Amino acid sequence: MEKDKIGAAERADMEAMEAQARAEGGEDTEPEDLVLRFGKPYKFGGQEYTEVDLSGLEDVTAGVLENVGKIAAKKNPGMNPALQEMSLTFCTYLAQRVAKLPLEFFTGLPAKEA
């Protein structure tokens, strides 16, 4: 019976949040920021970077994901294909494509920024 009360309370909370979102005009109208700002400047190729613009992710197609997936699979042949999009290899190759920077830019990033 206590389990039913918890479920009812969670449903009530969700309904209240949905009602508040509708009252506020629906979803957030601010565009998502896809600029990765670094904690400290990153030096690469004689230039100092404080951020990298990944807004090109908005234009990525399924074909691009497939191509990057093939590259990642060659680099990590034992990887489970269902998990490849969560691998650092996949992410660095995709970031390289959308930011139009050399792959070495991303593989040389400090771990926190990567």
Alpha helices in the chain (DSSP H): 2-23, 62-75, 88-99, 103-107
> Cα 74 from chain centroid?
22
Phi-psi label, residue 94: left if phi above 0, alpha if psi -120 to 50, beta otherwise: alpha
Tell me the per-residue pLDDT of 66-96, one tens digit each, with 9 for 90 and over: 999 999 999 988 888 888 889 999 999 999 9
**Residue with structure tokens 């565009």?**
31
Domain of residue 79, residue span: 31-114
Residues 40 and 24 in one domain: no
Residues 23 and 51 in one domain: no
Residues 21 and 54 in one domain: no
Residues 50 and 21 in one domain: no
Tell me the per-residue pLDDT of 90-113, one tens digit each, with 9 for 90 and over: 999 999 999 999 999 999 999 999
Residues 22 and 65 in one domain: no
pTM score > 0.85 for this model?
A: no
Residues 37 and 78 in one domain: yes
Domains identified in the chain, total number:
2
Residues 46 and 36 in one domain: yes
Which amino acid is it at 103? L
